[in-house]
Structure 1
Amino acid sequence: MADDLKTRKTTVEPQVRREQSLARTQAVPWLIVIVLLAAAAWLGWRAFFYHEEGDPVGSAMLAFEKQNSLTVFSSRFEVVAESEDRRGIMGVDLLKSRQAAIIPATVEYRLDLSTMDRDRFEWNDSNDTMTVVLPQLRISRPNLDEAEQKTFTEGTYVSRDASADLARNNSRQAERKAAEFAKNPEVLALARQAAKDAVRQNLAIPLEVAGYGNVTVNVRFDGEKQPG
């Protein structure tokens, strides 16, 4: 009798352990599904209902936090410079030479984002509109591509010193002309419009992701009147 009970006990215990192990194995996929559903629900709430501290201005500033400067426009054009060199003895010009140069130049227009504090952002909660006031654009020093320049030199004899002086004078003249051209109202208007478009794009998407929906972003520069 005792042997029979011992045999039955030995048979039941492995069976119980197998059932417990099977139950744990079957429970694992359900736990994974529950965790995934909870994560999806949290992400959905975060995307569509949660507003980080209810502060859209803070969210907008966060989009610019890691950018001290933003290049919004680049203009490449050619400038023409012309210089003349005279060399002689006792005030008498014996050698006269002239050189004209066509030099490509590039100028960049940048926004200084380090000055973008809260006073430059305004949020209208009634119509989900963000208004941003930008500082004036900064224009870079012209970058002359002298390796690609075209030169035309006139003179019976052009010494090495005369050639160096002509090239140096043309470079200075080209840089000055390029800087003046960069401030041309038409080019400056293109750069300002590019800056507004860049800021709208840089703010609209992060605000939407932060849960503020389809936000309208109005951008203007210091000194410009507010539309409407």
Structure 2
Amino acid sequence: MADNLKNAESSADTLVPEPERQKPLARVQAVPWMIVILLIAAVAWLGWKAFGPDELGDPIGTSLVAFEEQNALTVFSAEFAPVVSSEDSRFFGTINTRQVAVIPTRVSYSVDLSQVDRSRLDWNEQDETLTVQLPQISVGKPNLDEARAQYLREGIWISREAQDKLTRDNTQLAEREARKQAANPILLNLARDAARQAVTQNLAIPLEVAGYGDVEVVVRFDGEAGG
């Protein structure tokens, strides 16, 4: 009888629907998120203590804590493949060589959050709106991936010195071209949009956890209308 009971229990276990089996796993995966939320609440409380001990309802102080640990926030990156060429002439012009290079290059866009202080934050208590004025997007130095570069060389004979010079010249040209492409207004707008979204999330969540409710965060950049 005991064996039959065990077999029945074993059969019942195999018939448990799949969603029921996944519930414990979902609870386990939710634990890190709960820890993150508790940490955000703790950060918000520290903001009150650090920036507004006499005014417990200081949303600007809470917001500054969200920026406190971040200097430069990378918000966007773009990859280019500049096509450049350089020439070299030696032995009084008797030996001429040319090299065409395609060098994959990545450029990052960031915001300097170390410049964000109280003067760049404005809280409208009536509308429950926090306005943030950010410095302009900064375009980083192009990161050339010369390991993936492709070269096409032309010339009867290319010395080692000539090849090194051609490569150095093409590296400089590729970096210059990547900077030019990275300054494209379309890419800068994409970087600004990404920065707005990141900063809005970084501020709205701590404010909500701190008890301010569903706060509207408006992000502007220096030089924009309304800034």
C-alpha separation in 2, matches of 1:133 and 1:196: 10
Question: What is the CA deviation profile of residues 57-102 of structure 1, one whole-angstrom value per residue up to 9, with x for unaligned ones?
Answer: 11111111111111111111111110011112xx3x2111111000
How big is the shift at 1:226? 2.4
Q: Which residue of 2 aligns with 1:222?
A: 222
Query: Counterpart of 1:54 in 2: which secondary structure?
Result: coil
Deviations 1:16-67 (A, max 9, x none): xxxxxxxxxxxxxxxxxxxxxxxxxxx9xx99xx994110011111111111
Residue correspondence of structure 1 range 126-205 to structure 2 within 5 A: 126-205=126-205
- The count of corresponding residues between Structure 1 and Structure 2 is 178
Report the Cα offset of residue 181 of structure 1: 1.2
Task: Compare CA radii of gyration and give the structure with the larger one.
Answer: 1
> Which residue of the partner structure matches residue 84 of structure 2?
81
Matches within 5 A, 1:55-94: 55-88=58-91, 91=92, 93-94=93-94
Tell me, yes or no, if structure 1 residue 110 matches structure 2 residue 110: yes
Letter in 1 for 2:131: T
1:46-57 paired onto structure 2 within 5 Å: 52=48, 53-57=56-60
Q: Shift in Å at residue 221 of structure 1?
A: 0.2
How far off its partner does 1:135 sit? 0.5
- Once the two structures are TM-superposed, the CA of residue 109 in structure 1 deviates from its matched residue by 1.1
Matched position secondary structure for 2:94? strand
Query: How far, CA to CA, are the matches of 1:203 and 1:75 in structure 2?
Result: 26
Query: Does 1:98 pair with 2:101?
Result: no
Q: State the TM-score, normalizing by the size of structure 2.
A: 0.75
Q: Distance in 1 between matches of 2:194 and 2:61?
A: 24
Partner of 1:172, secondary structure, is helix
Report the AA paired with residue 84 of structure 2: A
Does the residue aligned with 1:219 lie in a helix, a strand or coil? strand
How many Å separate the matches in 2 of 1:165 and 1:196? 43
Deviations 1:193-214 (A, max 9, x none): 1111110011111110110000
How big is the shift at 1:192? Answer: 1.0
Cα deviation 1:97-117 (Å, max 9, x = unaligned): 111000011111111111111
Gaps of at least 5 residues in structure 1 are: 1-42
- Determine helix, strand or coil for the equivalent of 2:76: strand
State the secondary structure of the residue aligned to 1:67. coil
Aligned-pair CA distance for 1:163: 0.6
Show the counterpart of 1:211.
211
TM-score, normalization by structure 1: 0.74
Residue 60 of structure 1 aligns with an amino acid whose one-letter code is: S
SS of residue in 1 equivalent to 2:104: strand
- Give the letter for the 2:170 counterpart: N
